[in-house]
Structure 1
């Protein structure tokens, strides 16, 4: 029996799947079209030294804002990566004050105790759509203006422009993560607001042109990834809630 394009694929072999060019997120289309317009105008004016660089730039812009579909692991125990990129830091820290303090709104907060923070660095070549690490309700979304230092530095978590997001799962488990702008990144664009209910892997926002995302694991949870490992937003499992284990690896 012929399969219809777009039909659901499952582990029984039902459905249809194939590679295709990923769509471009609407947030990036205007930038790509501006670059294309400049390139075409320069070509019309025979300004080849401008036309060709702008043509390549337009391709780069479209690639930066690509928004591929992801296959999200369906298990409430899993915390999935909110970002594509490289695990650059894993450390024991206290969550940011914006996620632990009583803000007077009556919304819950994280406990003021050290937890494991996983930092994921996104280069300009990575997909920059960020996704929810767990399913639940957005309880806080706090934007903090700041500097634009190298997002790969540890102190970027406290000094750079950033946006904190706190999600509460149906059973009361809380998880916080932070979008951090970097040297090139100059804008954090949210797709969600407090009160929104999200599925694990749902799109929550993007950071333009290179950045970092910090994830604060719940207490008693160890990471399943290593520093130097490449992760994929919405697909790579960063940790299993309540699982404690030492993972070792060798850099190749």
Structure 2
């Protein structure tokens, strides 16, 4: 019974009202920001929803699984972990989402494929248990709005806006 409740809580997928601008691809906490590289790194704890979403209307250019290690998702060695890399083409430039497994999270279930068009907020994947998601935006086109330590909600929290104004 306890395991059923645990798994129901971890793998929940609540409905989301999609936010404005460029939205977070994942629930979690901002761990790192590098505006010059257009990077927002998000740590997903066990208590977060683990369904990832498209940050913006896009077409998938590449979606590839890369085998690797299973270090803790919050460590500096996370980029060498097993991951799924998704490259997106948008009207404001290319974006990428790298979803990394952790010590416990060892599986990413991908819901999308190359060539597929996506609407902002559309589901991309399910990451099992805690993990990390890095979003790279075109730095010359966007203004990152979130701060390190900020809590984010996939498809809902606006993390950046286009420099010419917010796109909806």
- The alpha carbon displacement at 1:172 in A equals 6.0
1:115 and 2:61 are equivalent in the alignment: no
**Root mean square deviation of aligned Cα:** 1.7
Aligned length: 164
1:69 and 2:15 are equivalent in the alignment: yes
Structure 2 runs not aligned, ≥5 long? none
- Higher normalized helix content (fraction of residues): 1
Measured in 1, the distance between the counterparts of 2:156 and 2:105 equals 24
Match of 2:113? Answer: 193
Q: What TM-score results when the alignment is normalised by the length of structure 2?
A: 0.91
User: What is the DSSP-based 3-state SS (H/G/I as helix, E as strand, rest coil) of the residue aligned with 1:219?
Assistant: coil
Is the 2:109–2:125 contact (alpha carbons within 8 Å) kept by the matching residues of 1? yes
Is the 1:218–1:241 contact (alpha carbons within 8 Å) kept by the matching residues of 2? no
Match of 1:141? Answer: 63
Q: What TM-score results when the alignment is normalised by the length of structure 1?
A: 0.62
Match of 1:163? Answer: 84
- The alpha carbon displacement at 1:204 in A equals 0.5
- The alpha carbon displacement at 1:71 in A equals 0.8
- Higher normalized strand content (fraction of residues): 2
Measured in 1, the distance between the counterparts of 2:105 and 2:51 equals 13
Measured in 2, the distance between the counterparts of 1:80 and 1:239 equals 7
Q: Which fold has the larger relative contact order, with Cα–Cα distance below 8 Å and residues 6 or more apart in sequence?
A: 2
Is the 2:29–2:43 contact (alpha carbons within 8 Å) kept by the matching residues of 1? yes
Structure whose CA Rg is larger = 1
- The alpha carbon displacement at 1:87 in A equals 0.6
1:112-147 superposed Cα distances (whole Å, 9 cap, x missing partner): xx6121111111111000000111111100210001
User: What is the DSSP-based 3-state SS (H/G/I as helix, E as strand, rest coil) of the residue aligned with 1:153?
Assistant: coil
Match of 2:159? Answer: 238
Structure 1 runs not aligned, ≥5 long? 1-54, 93-113, 244-252
